[in-house]
Amino acid sequence: MDAQQMEVKAVFLDRDGTIIKDVNYLSKIEDIEILPYVKEGLELLNKCGYKLIVVSNQSGVGRGYFTKDFVYETHAVLNYMLEGLIEKFYFCPHTPEDNCLCRKPKTGMIDEAVKRFRINKKLSYVVGDKESDVELGINAGITPILVTTGYGSDIKEKTKAEAVFNNLYEVAKWICQKGSTE
Ligand SMILES: [Mg+2]
Ligand SMILES: [Zn+2]
C-alpha cells in the first residue's frame, strides 16, 4: 500500500437521530426529514476531504417491520436529497438476538468500509447520537463524537465521546479545524 492510499480519511455517520429525524423504525419514505445543519455539515466535511459513510442499525428488517429493499430505497432518496454527498450506506438488518458481527457497537460495517476504501482509521471519526455509536468508535479504534440531536442530549453528561456538539455543522467545523493542524 503506498503512502497516498493511507491518506484516505472518513467520517462514519449514524443515520437516525444524526442525519435524519429518528422516528423510531422509519417505514415510510415521506417520513424522511433531514435534521438542521446536516447538509451544511456534510458539505464542509466533504470539502475538507473526508469520505462520508453511513453506518446504521436497521433491526426493523429483522423484526419484519420493513424490507431490505425499503432501506435501499430510503438511502437512494436520502442521498438524492443530499446531492450525493454520501459515498456509501452500510446497514445491519439483524436483531440483537441474531448475534451478527455488524450490529453496532460491533465493528463489521466499519471493517468492511476500511478494507474497501483503504481508510486510515487514525484520521477518521465516528459521529452518532447514541452511546452505542460512541462505543462503535472505541471498538474500531476511531475517535468518537456525540451529537445532541436524536438521543444524544440524554447522555451528554456521561458519554465516553471525545467531544460533544449540538449539530453536525459544529462537528464538521471541529473536525476540519483539527484535521488542518495535524
Ligand atoms: Mg441514532
Ligand atoms: Zn448485523
The pLDDT of residue 78: 98
Domain range holding 70?
Answer: 5-181
Q: What is the rounded average pLDDT for all residues in the chain?
A: 95
Query: Across residues 126-152, what is the average pLDDT?
Result: 97
Query: Across residues 3-7, what is the average pLDDT?
Result: 61
CB 17 within 8 A of CB 151: yes
Phi-psi region of 20 (alpha: psi -120 to 50; beta: other; left: phi over 0): beta
Could you tell me the distance, in angstroms and rounded to a whole number, from the CA of residue 151 to the centre of ligand 1?
A: 7
Q: Which residue has the cell 454527498?
A: 85
Query: Across residues 80-92, what is the average pLDDT?
Result: 98
Read off the CATH number of the domain in which 139 is found.
3.40.50.1000
Count of structural domains, the chain: 1
The pLDDT of residue 4: 54
Could you tell me the distance, in angstroms and rounded to a whole number, from the CA of residue 56 to the centre of ligand 2?
A: 10
Cβ count within 10 A of residue 71: 20
Catalytic residues: 14, 16
CA atoms of 129 and 158, how far apart (whole Å): 13
Could you tell me the distance, in angstroms and rounded to a whole number, from the CA of residue 127 to the centre of ligand 1?
A: 9
User: What is the tens place of the pLDDT at every residue in 11-53?
Assistant: 999 999 999 999 999 999 999 999 999 999 999 999 999 999 9
Q: Which residue has the cell 433531514?
A: 34
pTM summary value: 0.95
Amino acid identity of 93?
A: P
